[in-house]
Structure formats: C-alpha cells, structure tokens
Amino acid sequence: MTGEVKHLTGGCLCGAVKFKVNGPLREVIACHCGQCRKTTGNFFATTNASADAVTFNEDSGLAWYTSSEEAERGFCKTCGSNLFWRRFGSDTMSITAGSLDGATGLHIKEHIYVADKPDWYEITDGKPQFQVWR
C-alpha cells in the first residue's frame, strides 16, 4: 500500500452505508473494462486500502454481488450506489473514489483495460495507459 495514512469517511447516496478508512490509500486507478462500465455507466475510479482499515458506521444497505469467479462488488441495496470491489482471498479492498467525502488528496495514477474503452470519450490526462491489469 502506498500513500500517507488517511482518515476519511464515505458512503452511499442514501446513507444506508457509511464507512471510515483509517490507513494509507493507493492513488486512483481508472478501470475501463466492460464489467466496470456496466456497473457504473462509465469507467470505474477506485482507490484501495487494507480491508482492516475500513470500518462501517452503517451497513444496513450493504450487499455484495459476485461479479466473477475472482471478485465481488459491494453496493447499497437501497439506493444502488456502487461502493467497493474486492478479490476473493485478498486483504485489500477497492473503494470508489466518488464515494469518499470531501477532499481526499488523491489523483488518478493510471488507466487499465483501455482496450475495452468505449468510443465516446478519450483519455487525455497523460497518465499511463495499459491494455490489461498488470
């Protein structure tokens, strides 16, 4: 895990999921794969933290969807907010950057699965681009 220790809060649109992150966060990775686009309507921008660093103040709306043989996605079953992604057996959890409250100090680090990007936008931020996850 890279980055300075953060003490951030976040949650879903309706408040049925509220969480805290107390630990270092990875810079944001933008995933352009088809699965991520289908769950968000756009690319999936996530940071990442140790799963132990994420605690819940409210989780009555939290549900998990097995999206592949490798991973699951956490979302609010009340309002539909897409919040988390985690690989089975991993000790880290990806957190949607947009679900974090206030200023985060995070920046996009890179783009992955750019070969799956739709034709209606261009990636012009100068950040590294990868055809797949490295």
What does the pLDDT look like over 25-62, one tens digit per residue? 999 999 999 999 999 999 999 999 999 999 999 999 99
pTM of the complete model? 0.91
Secondary structure E strands in the chain: 5-11, 18-24, 28-31, 44-50, 54-58, 62-66, 71-76, 82-87, 92-96, 108-112
Sequence spans of domains, the chain:
5-116
The architecture that CATH gives domain 5-116 is Beta Complex (2.170)
71-129: pLDDT as tens digits: 999 999 999 999 999 999 999 999 999 999 999 999 999 999 999 999 999 999 999 99
